[in-house]
Structure 1
Amino acid sequence: AYNGSVPAAFVQMDGDDSVLCPTKALGAVVASHLPNRTFLYVYAHLYGADVSAQSGLARVGVNTSTWASHASEIPFVFGTQTFISFPNRSKSLVAVPFTAAERNLSQAISSYWGAFARGTSMQLVASGQRAWPAVSSAPSEPQLSLKLATPAATLLQDYHAAHCASFGEA
């Protein structure tokens, strides 16, 4: 697993334990206690402006496209194609042009976020896109998450359970 890379295994474990699993648990609590619908997503596109890509993790075997750093989807929400440079702490904006697939991903993410902000049904985002299912408040039901990645958004069933079982959360 992880192509024999200890750093890659650690990064996956850290992300699962620190972000993915607590988010899943919080989503289930919110879904069962509030009248509003709750939505989960997994952003899984490592690209040039991601802090992981900038910090050289690829040199130690962390070069996957199945996850990304926290908040690295923000340029895709707004289509800005810029990100703050973290490794040199200059906090300068770095231009990272999107590929054609990344432009499509940005348009899809903007559509999902726009529909969410407007309170539009997640079933009616843009034509040809996956519906964004709400989190189920019933613990026995499988949880569906929207995976935002290239080449297209997909639905993940029990993705969180598979990643969180090692931490005593299913």
Structure 2
Amino acid sequence: MKFKKFVTRKFVKIAGLFLILILFSGCLPIQPPNNQAKLAEDFTLPALEGGYFTLSEHFGQPILLYFFSTTCHYCQEETPNLVKMYNTYQSAGLLVVGVAVNVNSLQELRNFVENYGITYPILIDEDEEVSESYDVYYIPHNFFINRDGEIVDDKVGLMSEAELEEQILDIL
């Protein structure tokens, strides 16, 4: 008899929890679908070569916004592919923009740019405000922005050349 009471109480508790979950599930925030684009947040950062770069001034062309660090192994591995993609698709309007985070020294950043033959703009996010506004917690982190200034996709971690090219073709 005790066993039956125990099982009945357990069942009632579990059923009650289920009911509560069902009732309150309508209160949970609804996540937008992953394929829904949102406007890229505008920012202005200093460029390594001098002057300032404002993202919104480049809306109208496809942009690959790339957050990286010179000391990140995966960033070092991905950079040659980015250089290749930029050189291949620059004539089609592609703009690759590198945003350097965790910069130890400007000379180290210049050496990185020179060693990899980077010709696209490199920006310095010294206070990491832009990284925070884009929710960049891991690098490399790529944002693919279409001609309307909308982020259509973002990828965290090392991307192969083929993966980069596929994403770039989607925004061209």
Q: TM-score, length-normalised on structure 2?
A: 0.22
Q: Taking CA–CA contacts closer than 8 Å with sequence separation of 6 or more, which of the two structures ends up with the larger relative contact order?
A: 2
Q: TM-score, length-normalised on structure 1?
A: 0.22
